[in-house]
Structure 1
Amino acid sequence: MVVFLIAVPLSLGIALATGAPLRAGLVAAAVGGIVAGLLGGAPLQVSGAATGLVVVTAELVQRYGWRATCAITVLAGLAQLALGAARVARAAPAVSQAIVHGLLAGIGVTIALSQVHVVLGGSPYSSASANLAALPSVLTDPHPAALLVGAITLTVLVVWPRLPGRFGHGLRAVPAPLAAVAVATAAATGLTLPRVSLPRWEFQALPALPEGPVLGVFAAVLTVTLVASMESLLSAVAVDRLRAERPDAPADPASLDRELVGQGAANVVSGLLGGLPIAGGALRGSANVAAGAATRRSTVLHGVWVLLCAGLLTSVLELIPLAALAALVMAVGVRMVSFAHIKHVRRHRDFPMYAATLGSVVLLGVLQGLTVGVVVAAFLSLRRLAHTRITVEDRPSGHLVVVSGQLTFLAVPRLTRALAQVPAHAGVVVELGGSFMDHAAYDALQSWTNAHRAQGGWVTLRGRGGQPIAEPSSTHACHPWTPWRNHHCTRPAVDHHDTADTGGGRQLLGGVTAFQRHTAPLVRDELARLALEGQRPTQLFLTCADSRLVTSMITSSGPGDLFTVRNVGNLMPPPGSDGTCDSVGAAVEYAVEVLKVGTITVCGHSGCGAMQALLDAADQGPGAQQTSLTRWLRHGRPSLARMQRIGRLGRGEVALADRPVADDVERLALVNVMQQLDHLMAHASVARRVAEGTLQLQGMYFHVAEAQAYVLNQRSRTFKAVRPEVLDAV
């Protein structure tokens, strides 16, 4: 129902922007939902009138007429069926994202430039340049009523998702596009404005083949096929990422080849019934996932509701002013120019591809813009491979060879000539400034390095900025975070005459040796700086002694980042406990008063042996034998009592946001994190810093088997999973 409420105004707006009959947008939404929903390979993707084809479709309608445009849609659908059967969709991720996003951004700019004329009460021109040239004259003489309706639509679109409070939360259940059109329609009551006109349904005349040069028709079919396919496949990947974040998500990813077949079948049916070209849309698909869709039935039913709406609610739809739909589509066009994408492509030095594609689409057209983008991408790729600068400097400390660019077989002759300038027995530093080295370049560099060292010289390899590069001692280097029992590099050769240590000690020394060989060269400069300046950590991390909790790994931290306190059960005894707890209290006091940390994190974990021991001790009663472990674990009894109190009162004080709590061990681990945060606040130094606003306490829970971290929301007392960000929807 949510997607249906979004699809109806959006489909009408896209049809208005293309110059096609308005009913064609509803036909595309219904066919896209039912046909593509049943046959496609991305179950939660919602297909409908293609946003990315607005400019192309408008040009086709003007050049060939509506019936011929429907025929082109059918031919494009057949081409998609052939491409899907040939299994070419799996190659779609190989297309540069800079080109795809530049293409969509160019289409978005063109859409916005055309629809702003409708919002101002005028009519759009046939090209983006003509719309831009005529914009000043339209701005000086706008139609007040149309401008008012457009402004109301845009205001509601912006404000609606940000409505505060409980009342606002309830209103946000209505999709923003529907709310914007509904409010604008209500405001337009009594005004004289062009409105939606849906003629009585009649059987659509069969599509007619376009009249014109065969090459032009072929280019039109190719453009519709490429743009619709890329928009659908890119949206399918984005929606599949959103789906994969849910705990109930199936393991199988979306089938892009099947999705292309479903899109082709939908375009064939839509063209035959007089509908617009169809593509999957990340806007509708992400709304579908956010609304809780679990199967493809949600997509299909959205198409059914659109079909019923087109037949039963014609009189309601005809109240909508065209200016409101134009403002809605203009907002969609502006949203297609994503600043997040621009920042991303600039970071990866792909902005020339993005800018060339965007500008060419606006000035020349979609297919021409795509061609320009591909040509620029090929040129940049060849330039990056071939453009490698190698210099040799003779310095008092030795020779410096600087390689700027990628080292491929094309650069091997230059590399060999440069290295030949270095005298024998000389010291040399080779600085590699690129991010890629193929086998030919590696072999040439390695052979020269071995020969130079054999002649008495020394060679140091380092990366950009002077970072050392560790040279593997063999082709079987160990990979990080693999169990020690599989670490051949940490197993020194066994001395059969040495019986003093045949266990983990030798393995530990082997690991230290591997550190000295591979890791120490990479961190020596940083550790030297820290040794000189002293430690300045910003975080105190209190966690369990469990060997499976590697704090530096789960927090992506390095030397000098974390001041870590570990004990059995991640316990923080409150003030007034016996002297055996002074070690933990002293560490906290030192971190808060001397190191001035800004955050204290208490981190529990799944399968905690201390929590299991607390539960077992509660079952055994007070007569159990007292050991060092049981005496320490008495500091966890307040957590156990708190969990039991919650159970007696029937209050859900602790919860995981993404899934139910598995068992009592996990429930106690979660409660224990909150209890230790309360114990921390009982320490005067901590309470004072928190009151001053210079210290923050936070809780964390790490599920070992899932490698998933959860962070505590103090207000809702809910642990929420930390998820990677999803790419902005198209």
Structure 2
Amino acid sequence: MRNDARGILPPEPPEPPPQEAPQSRRMTVSADVGASLVVFLVAVPLSLGIAVASGAPLVAGIVAAVVGGIVAGLVGGSMVQVSGPAAGLTIIVADLIATHGWRVTCLITLLAGIVQLSLGAFRIARAALAVSPAVVHGMLAGVGVTIALAQLHIVLGGSPQSSAVANIADLPAQIAHNHTPAVAVGVVTIAIMFCWGRLPALGAFRPAVVPAALVAVGTATAVATLGRWQLETVSLPSSLADAWNGPALPEAGQWHGVFLGVATVAMVASVESLLAAIAVDRMHSGRRVMLDRELCGQGAANVVSGALGGLPVAGVIVRSTTNVRSGGRTPLSTVLHGVWILLFISLFAHVVELIPMAALAGLLVFIGVQMVSVAHLRDLRRHHEAGVYLVSLSGVVFLGLLEGIFLGFALAVVVSLRRLTRVTVTTEESGGRVHVTVHGSLTFLGVPRLAHVLRTVPAGARVDLDLHVDFMDHAAFEAIHAWRVDHERTGGSVDIDEVHEQWYERSTRSSAPATKTAPRGLARWWAPWEMRPGASAEVDPVGLLAAGAREYHASTAGRMRSLMSRLSHGQSPTALFITCADSRVVPNLITASGPGDLFTVRNVGNLVPPPDSRDDDSVGAAVEYAVAVLGVPSIVVCGHSHCGAMKALLEKAHLEPGEADTSHMRRWLAHAAPSLARAGEEVSSALPSPEALRRLSQANVVQQIAHLARHPVVRERLESGQLELTGMYYDLATAQVHLLDSGTGEFTPVRGVGDTAPVPRQAPAGDQLVEESSGASSRPSS
């Protein structure tokens, strides 16, 4: 059977892609044209503002926006990323212009593009992703703070100083003494940018549909024009041909600084573009980005932009996000937005020249503040990398861009080395035995902590020492061996169990391996076969099963024998766990449960047919057996993201006549039709986008719980308080488990141990969880 878009059946050799229907092509083109117009409206004021912040000619921002849209869109490897002048490069460009002049800066942009083309041609784009995201986000936040501080002086009617520190020191005087019309224009711009996206919908009109930047700059321009305020406005050349001010060679002694500038622009533009492309990939369901091709596209755009006298080009997340949210599906929207900018500037330059410079400054203040992302800081804090972010940010603001990047990168390396050499030693005493567990890389740096813990073990005790280590150097081996000899000499016993490579055992015989080893046995039990050490793509499925069985017998069967011998006399599971047959959902993994804990039912779409259905009795039989015979106190229905069954439901596969080889699936999916109704018309009429799939998958969980509550044996236990029903949702992309709150109808992420950060809320999956027949309520487990 073929592996269709529903993603349910096992894959077979790929078939030629079907030809896109003319109607579908027309819909795609229409969506791209609409999105390109929205992005065009966002890009014009942003491009002018970034040129102002960089100290470059204003037309350079327009040239970069046109070239970024057309060239990067045609050559690049992303379906929806929009490229153009980037705020993250403003400090670099401003410093280059101040040091070398504008024309040499254009040469640097051109040469940086050649470097990017070379990196993409040699297929090493992924190497750019080796830079810690904490450093990148910290750098961008520092750039944002620097931009906001400088442009705030322009909003207040003054002039920016030469450094962020000087801008901070001079800010009180600017606030106290400057109250010109420029201040009013800047304040109006910032206020509209802040409030526009928060305005409620007015009937069918949603303010968020209109770009906030366009509304803010347009309103400020109208106010200044109607009020006849004397303000500095945008000044453009009479034609783009007259504006050309291309690259020039530097003086003999400047080449060192030029090469440093080329490396800096190429690195920052490449990393920012690739990270933005990967981030925007999470927002659409089209082809994933081809990183090497995207880097070539960015390089080609920078070569052309530098040659035409434009700013450096990079992929920008704001315009890319706007493109996706506006319906952009292919690079056509990116290319068209560049065409619209070119036509607009060519035909309506006099309109652009009405824009006050203070309005662009206000726009830049808001953008700069937005670049300090609290969400990024929260995520990094959970990964204990907030320090790297803050050091990078502070370094960029108070010392300079390169200094901030260097400090952040150095701290990231130190943090990584600390993690690689960190060791955790725990002890537990039970049943007259002391259990000592060591996790991590056991080097000489961890010997003092290990020796301290081992010295606390009572003399003569029986000790189980579990070594969960991926590396052990000679100093660590000597410390463990010397303690073992002394402990056994005093009448104690030591049983050493090694989960990974047999470091200790081999060291007592000859020599240990020279390098760190990948985990084996239990340490990699959760990984797919293809990720196991020594896995080969040529192994047939039966061979993989046999290899897995051998691994189980070698590393796990002996440990489980006692447990399974006890369980062989009967089972008493804690829950009936109903989930999808999808191979990516592993119930025991996401619930950290073991043998005997879950009585599991798996089917396509985690469906529970109503009790009056006669099409399939297998689920009903499992429910009756689990509740009436095994007496489970809980039933869990677990859905998941990217569900092929839910995608097929959105595509109305349950209503189509269907082919002979999908008739069973079509009849089965008919049981999920009530879930589509529960999700609402907005979802049922939508294309199978990630958001529509999420809402439908969660609504499906709620609906199946309602079906469960109608089963007589379940209803009886619910009314007596002996049973509870729980909704669960597993997000594959984030490996995050969500639990259903029956009071609000929302799925809330489960926090990890020690995670104190607030969890994000999701939109309700459907109506609140209400029992449909008897009025019995279901309660989520904690």
Q: What TM-score, normalized by structure 1, do the two folds share?
A: 0.68
Aligned match for 1:193, one of 223, 228, 231: 231
1:510-549 aligned at under 5 Å gives the runs: 517=559
Aligned match for 2:108, one of 60, 69, 72: 72
Q: Measured at CA, do residues 170 and 582 of structure 1 come closer, stay the same or move farther in structure 2, by a change above 3 Å?
A: same
Q: Does 2:237 correspond to 1:206?
A: no
Residue type matched to 1:66 in 2? W
Aligned match for 2:373, one of 316, 338, 345: 338
Aligned match for 2:147, one of 90, 99, 111: 111
Aligned match for 1:570, one of 608, 612, 618: 608
Displacement of 1:143: 2.8
- Could you say which residue in structure 2 is the equivalent of 1:288? 323
Aligned partners of 2:737, 2:216: CA distance in 1, in Å? Answer: 39
Aligned partners of 2:730, 2:408: CA distance in 1, in Å? Answer: 46
- Could you say which residue in structure 2 is the equivalent of 1:378? 413
- Could you say which residue in structure 1 is the equivalent of 2:16? none
Deviation string 1:298-357 (CA, Å, 9 cap, x unpaired) is: 211111111111101112112222222212222222122112222222222223322222
Q: Measured at CA, do residues 265 and 390 of structure 1 come closer, stay the same or move farther in structure 2, by a change above 3 Å?
A: same
Q: Is the 1:36–1:265 Cα contact (8 Å) retained in structure 2?
A: yes
- Could you say which residue in structure 1 is the equivalent of 2:306? 271
Residue type matched to 2:370 in 1? R
- Could you say which residue in structure 2 is the equivalent of 1:258? 293
1:215-614 aligned at under 5 Å gives the runs: 215-243=256-284, 246=285, 249-250=286-287, 253-385=288-420, 406-408=441-443, 426-430=461-465, 437-438=470-471, 444=477, 457-459=493-495, 517=559, 552=587, 556=591, 558=593, 570-573=608-611, 606=645
Q: Does 2:143 correspond to 1:145?
A: no
Deviation string 1:512-557 (CA, Å, 9 cap, x unpaired) is: x9678259999x9xxxxxx9xx97x8xx97779x898978359747
Aligned partners of 1:697, 1:386: CA distance in 2, in Å? Answer: 41
Aligned partners of 2:700, 2:400: CA distance in 1, in Å? Answer: 60
Q: Is the 2:638–2:701 Cα contact (8 Å) retained in structure 1?
A: no
- Could you say which residue in structure 1 is the equivalent of 2:756? none
Q: Measured at CA, do residues 439 and 655 of structure 1 come closer, stay the same or move farther in structure 2, by a change above 3 Å?
A: farther
Q: Does 2:15 correspond to 1:15?
A: no
Aligned partners of 2:306, 2:382: CA distance in 1, in Å? Answer: 41
1:51-130 aligned at under 5 Å gives the runs: 51-130=87-166
Aligned partners of 1:415, 1:682: CA distance in 2, in Å? Answer: 57
Q: Is the 1:78–1:268 Cα contact (8 Å) retained in structure 2?
A: yes
Aligned partners of 2:461, 2:591: CA distance in 1, in Å? Answer: 40
Aligned residues: 624
Q: Is the 2:142–2:397 Cα contact (8 Å) retained in structure 1?
A: yes
Residue type matched to 1:116 in 2? L
Q: Is the 1:389–1:405 Cα contact (8 Å) retained in structure 2?
A: yes
Aligned partners of 2:398, 2:194: CA distance in 1, in Å? Answer: 29
Q: Which ranges in structure 1 are unaligned for 5 or more consecutive residues?
A: 464-470, 494-509, 525-530, 575-580, 608-614, 619-635, 661-666, 720-724
Aligned partners of 2:132, 2:76: CA distance in 1, in Å? Answer: 24
Displacement of 1:8: 0.7
Aligned partners of 2:442, 2:259: CA distance in 1, in Å? Answer: 42
Tell me the secondary structure at the aligned position of residue 463 of structure 2: strand
Deviation string 1:13-42 (CA, Å, 9 cap, x unpaired) is: 111112212111111100111112222222
Tell me the secondary structure at the aligned position of residue 301 of structure 2: helix
Displacement of 1:6: 1.2
Q: Does 2:202 correspond to 1:160?
A: no
Aligned match for 1:677, one of 688, 700, 706: 706
- Could you say which residue in structure 1 is the equivalent of 2:207? 171
Aligned partners of 2:563, 2:170: CA distance in 1, in Å? Answer: 64
Q: Is the 2:234–2:356 Cα contact (8 Å) retained in structure 1?
A: yes
Tell me the secondary structure at the aligned position of residue 416 of structure 2: helix
- Could you say which residue in structure 1 is the equivalent of 2:660? none
Deviation string 1:640-682 (CA, Å, 9 cap, x unpaired) is: 8998xx9xxxx9898385439xxxxxx9xx9998598379589
Aligned partners of 2:96, 2:582: CA distance in 1, in Å? Answer: 65
Aligned match for 2:70, one of 30, 34, 44: 34
Q: Measured at CA, do residues 311 and 348 of structure 1 come closer, stay the same or move farther in structure 2, by a change above 3 Å?
A: same
Residue type matched to 2:471 in 1? D
Residue type matched to 2:301 in 1? A
Q: Measured at CA, do residues 680 and 207 of structure 1 come closer, stay the same or move farther in structure 2, by a change above 3 Å?
A: same
Tell me the secondary structure at the aligned position of residue 437 of structure 1: strand
Q: Is the 1:677–1:699 Cα contact (8 Å) retained in structure 2?
A: no
Deviation string 1:211-234 (CA, Å, 9 cap, x unpaired) is: 454333333333222222221122
Q: Is the 1:33–1:47 Cα contact (8 Å) retained in structure 2?
A: yes
Residue type matched to 1:234 in 2? L
Residue type matched to 2:268 in 1? V
Tell me the secondary structure at the aligned position of residue 233 of structure 2: coil
Aligned partners of 1:682, 1:477: CA distance in 2, in Å? Answer: 40
Residue type matched to 1:207 in 2? P
Tell me the secondary structure at the aligned position of residue 315 of structure 2: strand
Aligned partners of 2:272, 2:154: CA distance in 1, in Å? Answer: 26
Displacement of 1:207: 2.4
Aligned partners of 1:702, 1:60: CA distance in 2, in Å? Answer: 45
Aligned partners of 2:107, 2:550: CA distance in 1, in Å? Answer: 73
Displacement of 1:271: 1.8
Aligned partners of 2:644, 2:100: CA distance in 1, in Å? Answer: 65
Q: Measured at CA, do residues 396 and 652 of structure 1 come closer, stay the same or move farther in structure 2, by a change above 3 Å?
A: closer
Aligned partners of 1:431, 1:492: CA distance in 2, in Å? Answer: 22
- Could you say which residue in structure 1 is the equivalent of 2:7? none
- Could you say which residue in structure 1 is the equivalent of 2:513? none
Q: Measured at CA, do residues 294 and 427 of structure 1 come closer, stay the same or move farther in structure 2, by a change above 3 Å?
A: same
Q: Is the 2:639–2:701 Cα contact (8 Å) retained in structure 1?
A: no
Aligned partners of 1:311, 1:518: CA distance in 2, in Å? Answer: 76
Q: Measured at CA, do residues 582 and 274 of structure 1 come closer, stay the same or move farther in structure 2, by a change above 3 Å?
A: closer
Deviation string 1:487-516 (CA, Å, 9 cap, x unpaired) is: 5599799xxxxxxxxxxxxxxxx99x9678
Deviation string 1:564-598 (CA, Å, 9 cap, x unpaired) is: 89999624448xxxxxx9997999999xxx9799x
Aligned partners of 2:728, 2:450: CA distance in 1, in Å? Answer: 54
- Could you say which residue in structure 2 is the equivalent of 1:133? 169
Aligned partners of 2:520, 2:255: CA distance in 1, in Å? Answer: 63
Aligned partners of 1:390, 1:77: CA distance in 2, in Å? Answer: 50
Aligned partners of 1:354, 1:606: CA distance in 2, in Å? Answer: 41
Deviation string 1:33-66 (CA, Å, 9 cap, x unpaired) is: 1112222222422111121111121222233332
Q: Measured at CA, do residues 157 and 405 of structure 1 come closer, stay the same or move farther in structure 2, by a change above 3 Å?
A: same
Larger Rg: 1
Q: Is the 1:408–1:437 Cα contact (8 Å) retained in structure 2?
A: no
Displacement of 1:89: 1.9
Q: Is the 2:702–2:727 Cα contact (8 Å) retained in structure 1?
A: no
Tell me the secondary structure at the aligned position of residue 84 of structure 2: strand
Aligned partners of 1:518, 1:270: CA distance in 2, in Å? Answer: 65
Deviation string 1:125-144 (CA, Å, 9 cap, x unpaired) is: 22111111111111112335
